[in-house]
Structure 1
Amino acid sequence: MTRVDTVAAFTDLYLPTVNGVTYTVQLWRERWPRFRGAMPVVYPEMDGHEPRDGEYPIPSVRAPLYPQYRLGLPTIPEDIGSPDLVHVHTPFTIGFAGIRFARKHDLPVVASYHTLLDDRADQHVSGNVLDGVKRTCRLYERSFFERVDHVTAPTAFARDHLLEEVDADVEVTVVSNGIDTDFFRPVDPTSFRERYDLPDDRPILGYTGRHGEEKNIGEAIEAVDGTDLVLVVGGDGPAREDLEAKAAEADAEIRFLGFLDREELPAFYSALDVFVFPSPVETQGLVALEATACGTPVVAVDEGALTDSVIQGETGYRYRRGSIGDLQWAVARTLDEHDRLSDLCRRRRAMLSVEHSLEQLSRIYDDLA
């Protein structure tokens, strides 16, 4: 078996953008040298991030529909060196460039299935054309992923979607993206509670992440309406104004904390009695894993990847989407069993770590090489 040391990562999403893909690529790149060699990364040039050693920005243009993102021009940096394998993280211009680079140099190529494109279609189209757009997304994904040698998916849900819904003829292995458990760990939340004036005499529920309509945060607001529970919402996004208006009409204490610095997140999770995650569009749901690693049980919608990421009766409970009564039942049960669930969350920390994920990846890489 050949040992793979240097892996070239190609991604259309990278710093300074903050999302699950950029977090994963950055964390893998940082931790891979602890196992093997290096993980240089090729990404679209974008204002706000100064490239460091091993980072190779390429010229880019603004992405249609998503002006906050950039599309890299399909070029390859000449000084990227001679990697042993290519790993592509996104199915767009730089992803295709990574496949071409691998084929030109006779290298194996792995792809990660981070995002279900057809799940994002209804954010931009509706009515009679929606089904056609979704079919087009699936054809596009199939064309991309059938060009690589192996695919990793962060959950069984994402794997099954690629094989059954997209109908791609590929080899897929479930490998969690992993999180930084050195950073996400139980901490003393006292200073965080004081900074945001959070009460200590009532249960606190919380969510953090993008405020988008697809994230379904409104269900969390409805669940606390008429109760003595406190709901704190971190993050920001296009749906925030509507969510604040909805919260203002609810008979409950609901706080919008705004965007939280990354350094605050372990204390945020540790301050919560329950992390509520109503988003049905996740391919893994990294924030659920972060909360779990901090010892905080999760109540999540029983859809998408959260059916895998939240273990019923061990790291929390799941509820039927749209059923506020079911959500309230799950919250009540989680609060009743909080100490037991929190202990089980802490016991799973090693399985959630990025080191565990990279060990699995290294075996896949070596088998391909």
Structure 2
Amino acid sequence: MATENGLGRQLSCWIAAVRTHYLVLLFFTLVVYFPRLCLSYAVFFLAQLLRLIARLTGVATGRPVANRRILVVTDYLPPQTHGIAIRCHAYIKEMRAKGHEVIVFSTAYEANKETSFDHPNIPAVVNPFNLKNRIGYTPGVKLAWFLGAHTWDVVHLVYPSLIGTFVLSTCAWRRIPVYCSHHVEMNMFAYKLVPIKFVAEFGLRMYDMLGLWPAIKWGTLNSAPTLCFARDHLGKEHEAKLRRVPSGTHNTFTPTPASSTERRDVRLAKFGVDSEDEKVLLMVQRLSAEKGTERVFQALLPKEEGGQGVKGVLAVAGDGPSKDFLVQEATRLRLRVVFLGNVPHQELPQLYRSADCFVTMSLSETFGLTCLEAMMCGCPAVMPFCSVFDEIWLDKDKPLTPKEWHYNIESTEEFAAAMATAQSSGRLLASSPAQR
């Protein structure tokens, strides 16, 4: 079965590659990428020349200094629903609320509506490993003009990005501070999503050259949601330029229910559960190979079939390339699993409040925003031991979560025990550890 699953994932990867022209990358690079990149540099230096002429002729090229003028360059914003998009959207909204002028260049934004502040027109192609997202492959003429012609206090470049070389080199030329934030464990993603090892390694080396090296060389600061990930991703030798990204989530994530009947109504409508005696285990994540979602099934199997006999309904909110496989596997094993699909962000709090515990099997996180969201709603989160989760929740003078809510990823026994402990203490989270 493991071999069949591996072959299925490999086939899915190559199908995605063909659908998105991934196999003609060399042709694309020579015919499209380099010419457009050269055009972008030409536009940038034209803008710089015009600024020089304006200064020499006495035309003001500065601006008032009452607030900050910030340029955000990102591939990740709504309508994408993953954690990076939600995080970027929250940053932009908060900075604007504080009175800063925030100009955003992205591959997509809300309904692709362009305004004087939002420019969803970075030239992009479909991500071959996440077909609902797009990857910017060149900065484009408009971003090049904005970088060359306008005055900026800081540029925020969100990684992973393929246009970091252009943005960072031009900002270095103009001595504009650049804040680079890194959000994806590329080494794990590459080997999980690209089954052919030498192809994965080639992609990683290219990303190091086009993405990480410029960030390390020209970035004013490099940050990540956790310092352990920043050190691993960018190198301990660059410690002086590494920072932890300030992390939080929306105030809609609260243990207070919207109504007195919310928990009962949601459990019945969403999970098919009409009794408090039945436990609900909730997962909220992208359904992809690197998340390891299928590991949870072993704990749900009856003991006579080699499992741990964990009772209850597993509810899975999210979508992705592994969904069909997970549905088939849950059906084959005759498990009680409810697949909710993509759930709007504003509807997640009621799911967290109505579940008995939140579980994750993922080791590919750089922060694990859903764990924070769950506990802000009073739902205990069961997490594997790993450097990221340990840094956030355990490696403190006073740990934010009980060690008993954590488990070794190889041990289904520890996982089952952690869920049992978390479920029995979940109602104690009315004042959640995430809010302390």
1:197-231 residue CA offsets vs partner (Å, 9 max, x unmatched): 33332121110121111111112222222232221
Superposed displacement of residue 87, structure 1:
1.1
Give distance in 2, aligned partners of 1:238 and 1:152: 29
Q: Which of residues 274, 277, 290 in structure 2 aligns to 1:199?
A: 274
Q: Secondary structure of the equivalent of 2:101?
A: coil
State the TM-score, normalizing by the size of structure 1: 0.83
Pair member with larger Rg:
2
Superposed displacement of residue 278, structure 1:
0.7
Higher RCO, 1 vs 2 (CA within 8 Å, ≥6 residues apart): 1
Q: Which of residues 191, 204, 218 in structure 1 aligns to 2:294?
A: 218
Q: Which of residues 54, 72, 78 in structure 2 aligns to 1:9?
A: 72
Query: Which residue pairs with 2:327 in the alignment?
Result: 244
Letter in 2 for 1:10: V
Task: Report the more deviating stretch, 21-30 or 138-147.
Answer: 138-147
Give distance in 1, aligned partners of 2:208 and 2:384: 24
Judging changes above 3 Å, is the alpha-carbon distance between structure 1 residues 133 and 84 closer, same or farther for their aligned structure 2 residues? Answer: closer
1:81-132 residue CA offsets vs partner (Å, 9 max, x unmatched): 5331111112434433432443343221110011122221111143466556
Q: Is the 8 A contact 1:15 1:49 kept in 2?
A: no
Superposed displacement of residue 324, structure 1:
0.8
Q: Is the 8 A contact 1:12 1:92 kept in 2?
A: yes
Give distance in 1, aligned partners of 2:343 and 2:108: 25
Q: Is 1:154 aligned to residue 230 of structure 2? A: no
Q: Which runs of 5+ in 1 are unaligned?
A: 351-369
Letter in 2 for 1:299: V
Q: Secondary structure of the equivalent of 1:17?
A: coil
Give distance in 1, aligned partners of 2:127 and 2:279: 43
Give distance in 2, aligned partners of 1:95 and 1:333: 45
Query: Which residue pairs with 2:385 in the alignment?
Result: 302
Letter in 2 for 1:204: V
Give distance in 1, aligned partners of 2:347 and 2:201: 41
Q: Secondary structure of the equivalent of 1:143?
A: helix
Query: Which residue pairs with 1:111 in the alignment?
Result: 180
Q: Is the 8 A contact 2:356 2:426 kept in 1?
A: yes
Question: What's the % identity of the aligned pairs?
Answer: 21
Query: Which residue pairs with 1:143 in the alignment?
Result: 213
Query: Which residue pairs with 2:424 in the alignment?
Result: 336
Q: Secondary structure of the equivalent of 2:386?
A: coil
Q: Secondary structure of the equivalent of 1:348?
A: helix
Instruction: Answer 1 or 2: which has greater helix percent.
Output: 2
Q: Is the 8 A contact 2:292 2:362 kept in 1?
A: yes
Task: Report the more deviating stretch, 67-76 or 309-318.
Answer: 309-318
Give distance in 1, aligned partners of 2:208 and 2:406: 28
Q: Is 1:171 aligned to residue 241 of structure 2? A: yes
Q: Is the 8 A contact 2:171 2:178 kept in 1?
A: yes
Give distance in 1, aligned partners of 2:434 and 2:187: 32
Q: Which of residues 97, 105, 125 in structure 2 aligns to 1:34?
A: 97
Task: Report the more deviating stretch, 90-99 or 250-259.
Answer: 90-99
How many correspondences in the alignment?
Answer: 345
Query: Which residue pairs with 1:70 in the alignment?
Result: 135
Judging changes above 3 Å, is the alpha-carbon distance between structure 1 residues 311 and 20 closer, same or farther for their aligned structure 2 residues? Answer: same
Superposed displacement of residue 277, structure 1:
0.8
1:289-337 residue CA offsets vs partner (Å, 9 max, x unmatched): 1112111111012225223344486435221112111111111121233
Question: What is the Cα-based RMSD across aligned positions, in Å?
Answer: 2.9
Superposed displacement of residue 242, structure 1:
1.4
Q: Is the 8 A contact 1:12 1:71 kept in 2?
A: yes
Q: Secondary structure of the equivalent of 2:266?
A: helix
Q: Is the 8 A contact 2:162 2:207 kept in 1?
A: no
Superposed displacement of residue 47, structure 1:
9.5
Letter in 2 for 1:172: L
Give distance in 1, aligned partners of 2:234 and 2:70: 26
Q: Secondary structure of the equivalent of 1:157?
A: helix
Letter in 2 for 1:145: A
Runs of 4+ in structure 1 deviating by more than 6 angstroms, as ranges, are: none
Query: Which residue pairs with 1:365 in the alignment?
Result: none
Letter in 2 for 1:320: N
Give distance in 2, aligned partners of 1:307 and 1:179: 19
Give distance in 1, aligned partners of 2:152 and 2:203: 37
- Aligned 1:37-48 pairs, distance under 5 A: 37-44=100-107, 48=111
Give distance in 2, aligned partners of 1:3 and 1:311: 41
Give distance in 2, aligned partners of 1:315 and 1:140: 39
Give distance in 2, aligned partners of 1:22 and 1:264: 17
Q: Is the 8 A contact 1:269 1:275 kept in 2?
A: yes
Superposed displacement of residue 159, structure 1:
2.0
Q: Which of residues 356, 376, 387 in structure 2 aligns to 1:273?
A: 356
Superposed displacement of residue 17, structure 1:
2.2
State the TM-score, normalizing by the size of structure 2: 0.71
